[in-house]
Amino acid sequence: MAGTHSAKDNDLAEKAVKDDALTPPTGDDLAVVDDLSVSFVTDAGPIKAVDGVHFTIPRRSVVGVVGESGSGKSVTARSIIKLLPETATTSGAVWLRSRDGKGAVDVLRLSGDDLRRVRGGEAAMVFQEPNSVLNPVYTIGWQIEEGLLAHGMKDRKERRAKAIEILEKVGIPDAATRVDYYPHQFSGGQKQRIVIAMALVLNPGLILADEPTTALDVTVQAEILDLLRLARDEFGASVLIITHNMGVIADIADQVVVMYRGHVVEQGDVEQIFYHPQHDYTRRLLAAVPRIGQKLVVRDREGRPVERKVDWRTQPVAVEAKGLTITYPGRLMQPDFTAVDGIDFTIHRSEVLGLVGESGSGKSTTGRAIAGLQKVSGGSLKVLGVEMNGVKERAFKPKRAEIGFVFQDPGSSFDPLMTIAENVAEPLIVHGKYSSVADAKDYVGDLLEMVQLPRAYMNRFPHELSGGQRQRASLARGLALKPSLLIADEPTSALDVSVQAKVLELFKQLQAEIGFACLFITHDLAVVDMLADRIMVMHQGRIVEHGDADQIMQHPAEPYTRKLLASLPVPDPREQREHRAQLHELLAAEQA
Amino acid sequence: MPESTATSVGVPGDTRLEKLSVSKNRHWFSKLPVVRQLGIAVGWQKGMLIVGLVLTCFFLLVAIFAPVIAPYGYAQMKYDDGTGFPTQAPPSAEHIWGTTVGGYDVFSRTVWGARTAVIAIIVAVVLSIFLGVLLGLVSGYFGGWVDRVLVVIADAIYSFPSLLLAILMAIVISGGQSSMWGGILASGISITVVYIPQYFRTIRAEVVRIKGSAFVESSKVVGASTWRIMTRHLLRNSTRTLPVILTLNSSEAILTLAGLGFLGFGIEPTKAAEWGYDLNRSVADVTAGIWWTAVFPGLAIVLIVLGITLVGESLNDLADPRLRTRKSAGEVIGSIEDTSVDPNAKPDAANQVLAELDAMDGRDAAGDSTTVGDAGKEA
């Protein structure tokens, strides 16, 4: 279909619909995305983000859209309510029916008041980051009422009653009081509930949820997914959920759309996608998803598994913490905040210790303290024989050569104005192994090849590499000085699953070959299960459980660990259904 | 897909990346600050930038070629044969913009004035930029009491009117009236005092933002010295906004110099031509209907300030992606960006995705036309 139109020429939308070849589709699907293409004008020229996408959203169902970053998922969802920047041009049509089943409208041809009525009224959006969606200077009640007012509810008392009612429905306790609270008085999960309440209050037929749980911890994620299920079952709405997490899809979706580079490669119901994937890409995507209990075995070229040469249990201790406490000073009159509260652990050489916890549990702080980025406030932390409590930089500097650090965000961990070679060579030059980048060139090339990047990438700038490649280069930098201790702070959480699989494989192989001690910090239990010898679970600055990986994964002793494991969605719809029942049992037992 | 060989490790997707921005080898000339912005500007933003650049270049050329352009010297009051210039003479063949009450040629003084103005800009900027940037780096990176003291001083200086400081400096340096360099230095230093806080604040803000980023922490973990972190990482990454302040401050430097001249603290007419002084001398003329002595130096000040400000403001807008306007394509065009990070994906030209997809699922006859609903019923 060649109906190309920009923002200017969609006056008289209804008339145009009659005249044009674009006619509303028959059938009773809530929404039909019909041959949608979107292109953007950037500084580098026009770019097509979505190309001829076609799928339907049935009534009362959850449609999951999966695909790697940049595959056009978000642009497709935003097109459904025409929430696109000025530089975007669209073609095709997005047909949206109202709840009561009256005629369909092509959203792309609407403007002004008609479009406003559709937004919120017919289709509402839930964004990824609840913190930036809620306005911090208004109460949540005000913000919910704002939507009601915009859609014609004039009576003040009625609006307020409605706001309280919807807050109760999404599970905000004591809603009548808390309707007057400000966003900062709620936790991240509660904020996302409020955002969903804002979407639900107008009773729209369609809720577009763009990565609604990505910024949240697994336990909170499970609650939000329950809430979206409630939106389908009780409110009778359809939900379009965008995610890169196959576990979330298995948990909630009825239908799945798999996107790849601006195209829909496969669409079908959830069982078909998971058990009978038709397309190669879907199969690869599913194969890359980490699962609990799946040990990562790396094989060399002859197909023999790569094993460590020594048993880590017999190796000397690299890091030893006894009653380690780290506090952040409080601001004006506020008490200090204790991030890490008297923890004990050891890391042996050639051991991989997995450190798992939700955000704010103190896991990153622990890692940063070992690397000397964070001052130790109490207890003892011995890193490679140096006591870190009260250490002077001068005394610790020689030991820095033996410590590598891999950061979470591959985007910001390289100096953007230096080439990959300069970045990777920095530790070598700082510690005087080479006098200049030119001298180190051969060795840097070897390092890049070790992490499976071609030598030619040396002269590139960081932004010219993809996220996965950058993270591999980051690993090369961490290993440049052949460290005996590597701290990896969420090294794969910013990566797509297929890339994550590659990086983890590489990591495992290098660890087996070089035999460095490693603290692997992550929030993903499935990832840590693939790599770690021992696992340490942190919660609110304390160690909840600590022991061999198999022991903890199979027979968790502590309720918190059990809850964490049960909250992690399994990328298998049938198994996940049982898994979810277990979680609900666990939560019920907790409350009793 | 480049295969792994004995000497090199092949990475899937390599050849696709080769085609990305990396291979677009631009000429070094197009990477220069202002030229690069000229390339990405469109519409009225481009118009603004071009007008600004034309005005600025015009005054630069006039300043450089002043001896060639001006028919007389800036302090010349006599013809070559020894007879004096007429005073307050209207524009004529000998004096195309007329003469002043003191008997100077207006055209020559205006042309020579451009030279004084440009030198004043350079002195002011050179003096303030180095100190401002250095202080900003130190203050932003170390923080603590050094930072607090410097920020308080910077704030205190903001509360002084810059012209008052300039007058003070002029009196301190040269006792009010001065030579060309004395006058330029007086205005230069007074401007410096006012501008150091601006450079300081901008650089400090950038440094504070950057010092928390992972690549700086990464250097710390490695054990890089403070000096190395400051010069290699922070300095280079924080100078992005400098061209903007630089241009905006240049225009203010001229205004200060002109203000000093107008108030009588500037440069003596025998030492150098200066627009502010000429304006001062022409105040009485205006009421007497002698327009040419005031209009031309005044216009010169307005135009040079306008030109530089236009350049600065456009650079400011262009540096910010949210303010930068872009052309609308008008139709759905463009190639699909190769954003895929799937290591098993096959390399291909950007627009052949569909063909590739079809080839990949050749067996699947249903292809693209299957809707979710239909597929659901089938399964």
The answer to whether A259 touches A273, Cβ cutoff 8 Å, is no
Q: Is A268 in Cβ contact with B379 (below 8 Å)?
A: yes
User: What pLDDT shows up at residue A435?
Assistant: 87
* Domains (range + CATH), chain B: 31-319 (1.10.3720.10), 341-379 (no CATH)
Please choose, from the candidates B48, B234, B8, the residue with its C-alpha nearest in 3D space to the C-alpha of residue B139. B234
Say how many CB pairs under 8 Å bridge A and B.
232
| Identical fold between A7-287 and A293-402+483-557 | yes
Q: Is the pLDDT of residue B352 over 60?
A: no
Q: Which of B38, B226, B372, B377 has the most A C-beta neighbours within 10 Å, making it the best mutation to test the interface with A?
A: B372
Give alpha helix (H) positions in A349-419.
Answer: 363-370, 393-400
What's the rounded Cα separation, in Å, for the pair B353 and B118?
56
3-state secondary structure (DSSP) of residue A302: coil
- A502 at B interface, C-beta within 8 A: yes
pLDDT at B259: 83
Please indicate whether, in this complex, the C-beta atoms of B376 and A403 are within 8 angstroms of each other: no
Alpha carbon A382 to chain centroid, angstroms: 33
Tell me phi and psi for residue A376, to 5 degrees. -85, 130
Phi and psi, residue B25, nearest 5°? -80, 105
Q: Is A99 on the interface with B (CB under 8 A)?
A: no
What is the 3 state secondary structure string of chain B? CCCCCCCCCCCCCHHHHHCCHHHCCCCHHHHCHHHHHHHHCCHHHHHHHHHHHHHHHHHHHHHHCHHHHCCCCCCCCECCCCCECCCCCCCCCCCCCCECCCCCEHHHHHHHHHHHHHHHHHHHHHHHHHHHHHHHHHHHHHCHHHHHHHHHHHHHHHCCCHHHHHHHHHHHHHCCCECHHHHHHHHHHHHHHHHHHHHHHHHHHHHHHHHCCHHHHHHHHHCCCHHHHHHHHHHHHHCCCHHHHHHHHHHHHHHHHHHHHHHCCCECCCCCCCHHHHHHHCHHHHHCCCCHHHHHHHHHHHHHHHHHHHHHHHHHHHHCCCCCCCCCCCCCCCEECCCCCCCCCCCCCHHHHHHHHHHHCCCCCCHHHCCHHHHHHHC
- pLDDT greater at residue A353 or residue B178: A353
**How far apart are the CA of A314 and the nearest CA of chain B, in angstroms?**
28
Per-residue model confidence (pLDDT) at position B349: 39
Q: Is B223 in contact with A431 (CB distance < 8 Å)? A: yes
A280 and B361 within 8 Å at the Cβ level: the answer is: yes
A367 contact partners, CB below 8 Å, separation of at least 6: A355, A487, A489, A519, A521
pLDDT in tens, B250-302: 877 888 888 888 887 777 777 778 888 888 888 888 888 888 888 888 899 88
Q: Which residues pair with A357 in a beta bridge?
A: A538
Q: What is the pLDDT of residues A436-454, one digit of tens each?
A: 888 888 889 888 888 878 8
B175: left (phi over 0), alpha (psi -120 to 50) or beta: left
Task: Give the largest CA-CA distance in chain B.
Answer: 108
End-to-end CA distance of chain B: 36
Interchain proximity A278–B361, CB inside 8 Å: yes
Contact A51 B354 (CB under 8 A): yes
Burial class of residue B46 (count of CB atoms within 10 Å of its CB; 0-12, 13-18, 19+):
middle
Q: Would you place residue B21 in the very low, low, confident or very high pLDDT band (cuts 50, 70, 90)?
A: very low
Contact of A345 with A546, CB cutoff 8 Å: yes
Nearest-angstrom CA–CA distance, A406 and A475: 6
Residue B220: list chain A partners with CB under 8 A. Answer: 372-373
| Tokens standing for residue A305 | 């598994």
Mean pLDDT over the full length of chain B? 74
Choice between A181 and B264, residue whose per-residue pLDDT is larger: A181
Q: Which two tokens mark A261? A: 């580079």
Q: What's at A244, amino acid-wise? A: H
Residue of chain B whose Cα is closest to the Cα of A445: B8
Q: Which of B20, B343, B372 sits opposite A267 (nearest CB)?
A: B372
- Provide CB contacts within 8 A for B33, sequence distance 6+: B243, B315
Asked whether residue B18 carries a pLDDT value surpassing 50, the answer given is no
Nearest residue of A to residue B2, measured between CA atoms: A454
Interface probe, candidates A60, A461, A466, A497, chain B, greatest B C-beta count within 10 A = A466
Indicate the length of chain B as a whole number: 379
pLDDT digits (tens, 9 = 90+) for B127-178: 888 888 899 999 988 888 889 999 999 888 878 777 787 777 777 776 655 5
Region A246-261: what's the mean pLDDT?
90
Q: Is A350 left (phi over 0), alpha (psi -120 to 50) or beta?
A: left
Closest to B205 (Cα-Cα) out of B229, B227, B238 = B238
pLDDT, mean of residues B96-111:
84
3-class secondary-structure state, position A356: strand
> Which A residues 371-410 touch B at CB under 8 Å?
371-373, 397, 400-401, 403-405, 407-409
A chain contacts of residue B224, beta-carbon cutoff 8 Å: 426, 430
- Percent of chain B at pLDDT > 70 equals 73
Mention the CATH class of domain A293-402+483-557.
Answer: alpha beta
CA dist A254 → A67, A329, B259 (Å): 17, 49, 74
Name which of A281-285, B24-28, B140-144 the model is least confident about.
B24-28
Domain boundaries, chain A: 7-287, 293-402+483-557, 417-481
| Residue A489 vs residue A308, higher pLDDT | A489
* Chain B residues whose beta carbon lies within 8 Å of the beta carbon of residue A502: 343
Average pLDDT, chain A: 84
3-state secondary structure A36-56: EEEEEEECCEEEEEEEEEEEE
B42-91 pLDDT tens trace: 778 888 889 999 999 999 999 899 888 888 887 777 777 778 778 777 78
Nearest to A374 by CA among A324, A411, A429, A330: A324
Look at A294 and A412; give whichever has higher pLDDT: A412
Distance CA B195, CA B189 (A): 10
Q: Which CATH superfamily is domain A7-287 in?
A: P-loop containing nucleotide triphosphate hydrolases (3.40.50.300)
